[in-house]
Homo-oligomer: A and B are copies of this chain.
Amino acid sequence: MDGSFGDRAAAYVDRVERCLDRALPPADLAPTRLHEAMRYAVLNGGKRVRPMLVYAAGECVGASPGQLDPAATAIELIHAFSLVHDDLPAMDDDDLRRGLPTVHRRFDEATAILAADALQPLAFGVIAGASELSAPQKVALAGLIAEACGSLGMTGGQAIDVGATGSLLGAAELEAMHAMKTGALIHASVMSACCVADALSDEETNGMDAFGRHIGLAFQIRDDLLDVEGATDVIGKRAGADAALGKPTWPALFGVEQSRARCAELLDAARASLGIFGDRAESLLWLARLIVERSA
């Protein structure tokens, strides 16, 4: 492996954006307004953290980028779907996402609901249609992603978050909510590489699993911190939105300093859990630091 992951990260982002562009129906194909909205929701300059995690985890377990493209693409489609629905008036009621009008603002509410609804099956269709993967690999990936985005994962976490607005959760409940809302899909990103890798030892699988959990939680705490610390023009969405909504967050419960300390702890734990992979874990660790130290 040549160079640092920092050098390869941009190439991986380009790679998944080409995959996303190919997976999405063209904007001039009917129903055009729906397809425009789907493309707008996905091809909007997202950071592509989850695809980068897929590719970096692939370096760790010896899976090729071609084998990882379907998972990277599908997971980013699922992530985009969740953002569109989270932004709706009945949920977080956000006007801005990545510095641009949210999908229901740019189009309309019905189109936003349906565009996101169509991104989900597109994700599973990408997996089912992947020519690089065997049928058992596809089944493993589809099962992993279905679980991660369902009622015991991402969507369930969002339901707890929406239901908890205005009330203070306890630490255990908050951590469980974070683990579901953001952690589940981050974890699935990492584990997706295991689905397409050649036989891994239990120790390797368990190490990857622990890394995914630690870094998923760290990602959400960092997100909460950014909402407190960040300026709207840097994070691309309304800063202070969580506090304004009375949302349960890590800094609200523990304060900013303790939240930062928890992030640092989780980064250490994430690093330790990849010990078995030696140098092959370099890229994942680079990404883990990026997640914990990012300013947007």
Contacts and interface: CB of A to CB of B under 8 A. Distances in A.
Interface of A: 25, 30-31, 33-35, 38, 81-82, 85, 88, 90-91, 108-111, 113-118, 120-122, 124-125, 127-129, 134-136, 138-140, 142-143, 145-147, 149-152, 155-156, 158-160, 162-163
A25 B152 CA distance: 9
Given A38-B151, A128-B143, 14 more contacts: A31-B151, A33-B159, A85-B117, A90-B109, A90-B110, A113-B113, A115-B159, A118-B151, A118-B155, A120-B120, A120-B121, A121-B155, A125-B146, A138-B139
24 contacts: A25-B151, A31-B163, A33-B159, A34-B155, A88-B113, A90-B108, A90-B109, A111-B162, A115-B159, A116-B117, A117-B155, A118-B155, A118-B156, A120-B121, A121-B149, A124-B142, A125-B142, A125-B147, A125-B150, A128-B140, A134-B135, A135-B136, A138-B139, A139-B139
Secondary structure class of chain A's binding surface, majority of residues: helix
A131 to B, nearest CB: 12
A114 to B, nearest CB: 5
Given A121-B149, A146-B128, A114 B162 contact: yes
A135 B155 CA distance: 27
A34 B151 contact: yes
A122 B135 contact: no
Given A34-B159, A90-B110, A135 B139 contact: yes
A35 B34 CA distance: 29
A115 B91 CA distance: 13
Nearest to A127: B142
Contact of A91 (B91, B113, B147, B155): B113
A98 to B, nearest CB: 21
B150 A118 contact: yes
Contacts of A114: 85, 155, 158-159, 162
Contacts of A127: 142
A113 B25 CA distance: 24
Given A114-B155, A139-B138, A147 B121 contact: yes
A152 to B, nearest CB: 7
A117 B139 CA distance: 20
Nearest to A122: B150
Nearest to A157: B31
Contacts of A91: 110, 113
Nearest to A150: B121
B113 A151 contact: no
Given A124-B124, A151-B25, A151-B122, A31 B160 contact: yes
Residue of A117, A149, A162 with most partner-chain B CB within 10 A: A117
